[in-house]
Amino acid sequence: MKKTIFTICMAIFALMSGVSCAPESDKYEVKRYLCNFEGAYWDALVDSEQYMGPLLYSAIPYSWYDAASDLASDSTSSEYDGVYYWGNGTALSNYFSTDYASNGTFMEQLTICAEGAHSGKNAIVCTGYYTGWGDFRPSLYFKSKRSFIESVWVANTTYSRNVAENGYRMADDKLAEDKSIWIEAEGFVVDENGAEISVAKTKFYLYKNGKPAFEGWTKWYLTSMPKVDIIKFNVLWDGEGDNPFPAYFALDDITVVRQELK
């Protein structure tokens, strides 16, 4: 009897104090947000010229933000009086070609080696890497809330593929048959002092044994990553020294996962 009265009293107290008796897991739901770079806002971020265009090579920093997924990216390297994309960055592109031999120089640095975007008409082209000169990795970050990046779709660019297969100027410059190139994604959390703390790394092959690892677009699952504030991309190879090949690749349809209150 005493136990019953105690239970009733506790239930009344919970109701009066606004305390929920529901399990913590019932308060939240998993939500997915797709950043697909489609719409007028994204169209306006595609430069009119692929090299030395007015958006990517100017005194005004190039940046973008997707409010739904909370993903953002900025150009971070400076060159004299401007912020130049050739240093590093993630740029919108609607340039596509499968003829990489004819469209594979630095003048076509935004051309993605595919028939089109993975979905819609736009994607992003990332360039940059970590070298002995400094950290010039392109990055994505969350502006307000640490989140998971579940997956991205990846493609090569015509510039990177042409040089890997045909070399810069001579056949000897091409990627050797026993060499590979990959993207290394590194996740960071930012502590209360603003310091970036590395929490995970994972890699994805662009070229294996001198050949492309895939054609067109392919999906890269980043489920081994915990929740992050920032993810930085490096382009590495298994030869000596820094990667000598163009550090370019394309991303599209980035899936962000967050646990939110119902």
Closest CA to 186 of 237, 129, 240: 129
In a domain, 65, yes or no: yes
pLDDT score at 94: 98
For 240-256, the pLDDT digits (tens) are 878 889 999 999 999 99
In a domain, 233, yes or no: yes
In a domain, 9, yes or no: no
Q: pTM for the complete prediction?
A: 0.86
In a domain, 7, yes or no: no
Q: Kindly give the pairing relationship between strand 218-221 and strand 134-135.
A: unpaired
Name the residue range of residue 206's domain: 24-261
Across 162-175, average pLDDT: 81
Across 71-77, average pLDDT: 84
Q: Identify the CATH number of the domain in which residue 99 sits.
A: 2.60.120.1350
In a domain, 4, yes or no: no
In a domain, 11, yes or no: no
The answer to whether 130 and 175 are in contact (CB under 8 A) is no
The answer to whether 237 and 180 are in contact (CB under 8 A) is yes
Domains identified in the chain, total number: 1
246: number of Cβ within 10 Å: 23
pLDDT score at 28: 77
Across 88-110, average pLDDT: 96
pLDDT score at 169: 66
Dist CA 185 CA 217 (whole Å)? 18
In a domain, 49, yes or no: yes
In a domain, 124, yes or no: yes
Residue 224 clears pLDDT 60, i.e. is over it: yes
